[in-house]
Structure 1
Amino acid sequence: MMTGITATARRRHRARARGATGRPWGVVPTALLLVGALYCLFPVLWVLVAATKSPGELFTTATLSFGTGFLDNVRQLFAYRDGVFWLWAGNTVLYAGGGALLSTAVSAVSGYALAKYRFPGRNAIFNVLIGGILVPAVVLAVPQYLLFSRVGLADTYWAVLLPQILNPYGIYLARVYAAAAVPDSLLEAGRIDGAGEARLMARVALPLMVPGMVTIFLFQFVAIWNNFLLPFIMLGDDGKFPLTVGLYTLLAAGANQPALYNLILTGALLSIVPLIALFLTMQRYWRTDLSSGAVK
């Protein structure tokens, strides 16, 4: 008995010694993550500080010192061209919200079908989707513009919304999540009870896929919200511009009107706020193991 206790104590001592020896190496990944976080957050901090400065303070005071002109900048931004900033913000919400909702719906249904049904050409379709993920959106922007011009949809809201609906990466995520989150045995039990395929998808599969759908929605919402090239190419009427293109027009005009730089920085700061609020609001939906115990 004493021999067993001694051996156990020795093993614990060796484990503590190994932990003490390896502990400094555990600090390295944490330090790298902190450096990466600072690298990503510094531009946001700079925009936050710069948006508080008046036109006279922007180029004269220290880089990271707060100014006193934030409220004036906000008032001037909202009053610029009879409140065109609000029009751009509304367009951005339409593009990002509508496009992300439609894309999430298409991705969820497509991913569920690819994960749970066997049909000819399924693997070929999935391989094409994988290839679509590897194609940069920049490559497709000009061909899409030519196609929409041919059918008369250029310079319309549809020209920005429609290309965002089919998202290969979203379909890929939905397929992977549906394969893991929706048990085949649960679907078979529903079929035995007489449920049709449409009802199984609507009442069984999609509720289990909610965390994955929220992730797809957030990814697509942020991608559309920050998208610049597609609306820049598709749209010519500044009344249809999103925030990215609208603020770019201010930046182009700022070369002759330096006072517009304050409005640009304030607009950039305000355009980040909805994204932060969205993430904080929807993170509660990121739950795992929703299907645990369902089969039981």
Structure 2
Amino acid sequence: MISARERAAWGFVSPALIAIAIFFVIPVVSSLLLSLSDFDIYALADLGNMRFVGLQNYERLLTNPLFWQAMKNTVWFSVLGVPLAIGASLAAAVILNARTVKWRPVWRVMFFAPYVTTLVATAVLWNYLLHTRYGVINWVLTSVGLPAVDWLGDPNTSIPAILIFVVWKIFGYNMLIFLAVLQTVPDDLYEAARIDGAGPWARFIHVTLPAIAPTLLLVSIISVAGFFQLFAEPYVMTQGGPAQSTVTVLYFMYEEGFKWWNLGSASAVAFVLFLCIFAVTMVQLAVSRKLGGDHT
């Protein structure tokens, strides 16, 4: 029999559980069922037109060249973007954590401001900055005698150009996370390392990194998931071009679902993307445990 204390506990958590069921569990189950059907614009008008097709959506997806191009682009975004974003934000956090840096609150606000700025507005602004003829970046290049670059119109530079924008956009968020955990590292550890003759780099490797390892893992998981779900940036800046060089998996899912109205196929893309993110996260956790075990 449930005690009064247990009933009170269930009473407190039930609103959250109901919200999770309504806004997460039910939509996920519905999407899974949708991915096993041929739900399209005709079924949207009349559910009688919807048929159960099993795994056909997944089979067609895995034989679609555009899907593999999107997966390749997404992997490139993640492989290049995650280390760059984490490295830049960690370096900034270490610098701003030093007591010798003046105006630290001002620098923190400046670095964090892009993260809370509307993504579409900043993407449009960067489009102007990267413009081939009128952009500030190309104006600087031509001023020093270098040729202008078609940043968003060349398949070789479109991914790096978007990556720079994405890293700039999320840079401040990761920096604040690292800054918060750096302030919890005891000064005694750094003082002991200095007494032992360790320089700045040695103190960073042997004191800072082990102390922030759990947070570093958390930020890396969040960053990988974020880069695998890139959509708004290529949608606003390049519309997936040029030559489909910036089509991501999420962009491909959007076109399947809301351009061609193949909602069953789009749901299949969503679950394949989930499996990819889940697999990468499991690998990250396994590597983290192994390195942690080797360290101990």
Match among 114, 118, 125 for residue 107 of structure 2: 125
Corresponding residue to 2:72 among 75, 81, 90: 90
Residue 192 (structure 2) pairs with residue 189 (structure 1)? yes
> What is aligned with 2:175?
171
- Give the Å deviation of 1:101: 1.8
Equivalent residue for 1:137, pick from 94, 115, 119: 119
2:164 aligns to what?
162
Q: Does the alignment pair 1:100 with 2:56?
A: no
Deviation at 1:125, TM superposition (A): 0.7
* CA deviations over 1:67-125 (Å, ceiling 9, x no partner): 4421x222222223xx2211101111211332122111112222122224422222321
Q: Sort the Cα spacing of 1:129 and 1:68 in 2 relative to 1 into closer, same or farther, 3 A.
A: same
TM-score by length of 2: 0.76
1:5 aligns with: none
Secondary structure of the structure 2 residue equivalent to 1:239: coil
Secondary structure at the aligned position of 2:266 is classed as helix
CA shift, 1:242, in A, is 0.6
* 1: CA distance, partners of 2:258 / 2:116: 32
**Which has the greater radius of gyration?**
1
SS in 2 for 1:43: helix
1: CA distance between counterparts of 2:118 and 2:287? Answer: 30
Does 1:264 find its partner at 2:249? no
Would the aligned equivalents of 2:73 and 2:246 in 1 still touch at CA under 8 Å? yes
Contact 1:157 1:240 in 2 (8 A): yes
Instruction: Write the distance in 2 (CA, Å) between the matches of 1:69 and 1:26.
Output: 41
Deviates more, 1:102-111 or 1:262-271: 262-271
Which residue type is aligned with residue 234 of structure 2? P
Alignment of 1:279 onto 2:281: yes
| Aligned match for 1:247, one of 253, 259, 262 | 253
The residue identity in structure 1 corresponding to 2:237 is M
d(CA) in 1 for partners of 2:114, 2:189: 32
- Structure 2: segments with no counterpart, 5+ residues: 139-149
Mapped to 1, the partners of 2:287 and 2:175 lie a distance apart of 19
Say if 2:80 is the partner of 1:78.
Answer: no
Contact 1:77 1:267 in 2 (8 A): yes
- Find 2:202's aligned residue among 187, 199, 202: 199
Q: 38-47 or 169-178, which moves further after superposition?
A: 38-47
Residue 159 of structure 1 contacts residue 234 of structure 1 at CA under 8 Å; is this kept in 2?
Answer: no
- Range that drifts further, 188-197 or 274-283: 274-283
Q: Displacement of 1:139 after TM fit?
A: 2.7
Q: Name the CA distance, whole Å, in 1 between partners of 2:272 and 2:266.
A: 10
CA distance in 2, matches of 1:191, 1:62: 73
Q: C-alpha deviations, 1:141-172, integer Å up to 9, x for none?
A: 11011112223312411122111223111000
Q: 1:113 to 1:271 in 2, by over 3 A?
A: same
When normalised by structure 1's length, the TM-score is 0.76
